[in-house]
Amino acid sequence: MADFEPETGTLFIVSTPIGNLGDVSFRAVDVLTRVQLIAAEDTRKSRILLNRYKIKTPLTSFFSYNQKKKTSSILKRLKQGDDVAVISDAGTPGISDPAFYLVSRAIQENIGIVAVPGASALLTALVVSGIPTNRFVFEGFLPVKKGRKTRLQKLNEEERTIILYESPHRLLRTLKDIFNFLGNRNLVVARELTKKFEEVLRLPVEKAIEVFQNRNSIKGEFVLIIQGK
Ligand code: SAM
């Protein structure tokens, strides 16, 4: 046994691009290069970014299904004095992807946590939306089944700008629900932000339903910005 307690390492919450690999900060590259371990949601996807910036730090997977088990092993490394960075598939870890659980456990264990800020799809969409940015509420993904109707009924009373994330195969269903529960509000559909096929549609909900119903296929990643009541 060592005759001294090693200093604990630092847990870095590192934001990565939401598409365009140029949107990574110098500090993020520096931290990802220096830490002893990177915990990534999708190691295959993250390797593209790491290769681009010649980062050779070992990677381990950290996703929602293994987060409890992985959190224990990450905490162990931190307690041994290693610095660990967490990255997600895209954007800011902890925003609609795992990291929150790890952060809360690290706080309990008195481990230092440092955020390296960067891109997040919700703010990227909000600032180009033209819908008021002074007060907004981020709702993440709507519940798919249980609680969906109640959430939509509550959102109908919301006066602040509403931000939602949605996957391509649920987009139409969600647009129709927004129309039925919130009415024909002003809406912005932001698709594939920072990527080659980036698209920002500013239109009433009813028109958005028509636009996407007429497409052969709905592809990409979406943020919806809805005008408050
Ligand atoms: N942590 C990420 C962040 O900070 O934005 C969000 C992760 S969440 C699992 C993925 C969702 O974010 C997608 O389904 C989509 O709603 C949104 N998203 C991520 N990248 C996007 C992009 N380039 N354009 C539009 N929406 C995006």
Ligand 1 midpoint to CA 70 (Å): 23
27-43 confidence digits (pLDDT tens): 999 999 999 999 999 99
Q: Does residue 125 come out as left (phi exceeding 0), alpha (psi in the -120 to 50 range) or beta? A: alpha
Q: Which pair of tokens denotes residue 9?
A: 């390492």
Asked whether residue 114 falls in the same domain as residue 126, the answer is no
Q: Residue 58: pLDDT above 60?
A: yes
pLDDT band at residue 5 using 50, 70 and 90 as cut-offs: low
Asked whether residue 150 falls in the same domain as residue 69, the answer is no
Neighbours of 205 (CB within 10 A): 23
- Residues 84, 13 contacting (CB under 8 angstroms): no
End position of a domain, from candidates 54, 87, 119:
119
Asked whether residue 156 falls in the same domain as residue 191, the answer is yes
Kindly state if the Cβ of 190 falls inside 6 Å of ligand 1. yes
C-alpha 215, offset from chain centre: 26
pLDDT value of residue 47: 96
pLDDT value of residue 65: 85
Asked whether residue 160 falls in the same domain as residue 83, the answer is no
Q: Which residues pair with 187 in a beta bridge?
A: 203, 226
End position of a domain, from candidates 103, 119, 135:
119
Domains of the chain: total? 2
DSSP 141-204: EPPSSTTHHHHHHHHTT--SEEEEEE-GGGHHHHHHHHHHHH-S-EEEEEESTTSTT-EEEEEE
Q: Give me the mean pLDDT over the 155-176 stretch.
A: 98
Look at residue 5 and tell me if it is in a domain.
no
CA-closest candidate to residue 24, choices 140, 118, 102: 118
Asked whether residue 45 falls in the same domain as residue 85, the answer is yes
CATH number at residue 144: 3.30.950.10
Which domain range does residue 16 map to?
A: 10-119
Kindly state if the Cβ of 121 falls inside 6 Å of ligand 1. yes
Q: Residue 1: pLDDT above 70?
A: no
Contacts of 12 (CB under 8 A, 6+ apart): 31, 35, 83, 84, 85, 86, 113, 114, 115, 116
Asked whether residue 108 falls in the same domain as residue 138, the answer is no
Asked whether residue 139 falls in the same domain as residue 191, the answer is yes
CATH number at residue 51: 3.40.1010.10
Ligand 1 midpoint to CA 176 (Å): 21
- Residues 38, 50 contacting (CB under 8 angstroms): yes
Q: Which pair of tokens denotes residue 142?
A: 């709507």
Kindly state if the Cβ of 228 falls inside 6 Å of ligand 1. no
Asked whether residue 113 falls in the same domain as residue 45, the answer is yes
Asked whether residue 85 falls in the same domain as residue 140, the answer is no
